[in-house]
Amino acid sequence: MANYTTEDIKRLREETGAGMMDCKKCLDEANGDYEEAKKLVFARGIAKAEKKADRETKEGYIASYVHSNAKTASLVEILCETDFVARNEDFRTMAMSIAMQVVAMNPENVDELMAQDFIKDPSMTIEELVKRTSGKIGEKFVVNRFVRFEVGQ
């Protein structure tokens, strides 16, 4: 007998965006331990993202962020495979978070940005954020470029 309920499956699905059967399998493997199942879902999402590494990205979205003092801003170009995903709310939320990261942390280049701890959740890097979102949505994402503006510079 399972050590979890259908409510656990539903909650895991809502929190991670993973498919219902994937959530059930992860809860089975974790013997009903919700937090362990959640880790499994994210680990598999990252694995799915790495399998997509050779796919072509021709679509995308440019996210912008202006800090509350209106003196610092950024534009970030994130590429994806389809225009459908470029309109996806989770994709755009991720892109906006990365634009905010650029304003807050002022990275020199994309490699430095990807290695930084995510300001909203320091338990993961920007690279992990991109991979998790990629695994959840099912397409390859590339942080292609960014620009940061600051008044007087």
Indicate the average pLDDT of the chain: 88
Domains and CATH numbers, the chain: 6-51 (1.10.8.10), 59-150 (3.30.479.20)
pLDDT of residue 17: 67
pLDDT digits (tens, 9 = 90+) for 7-43: 888 888 777 767 778 888 888 888 989 889 888 877 7
- Give me the DSSP letters along 135-151: HHHTS--EEEEEEEEET
Average of per-residue pLDDT across 145-149: 98
- Alpha-carbon distance of 10 to 24, in angstroms, equals 9
Average of per-residue pLDDT across 45-57: 65
- Alpha-carbon distance of 102 to 72, in angstroms, equals 10
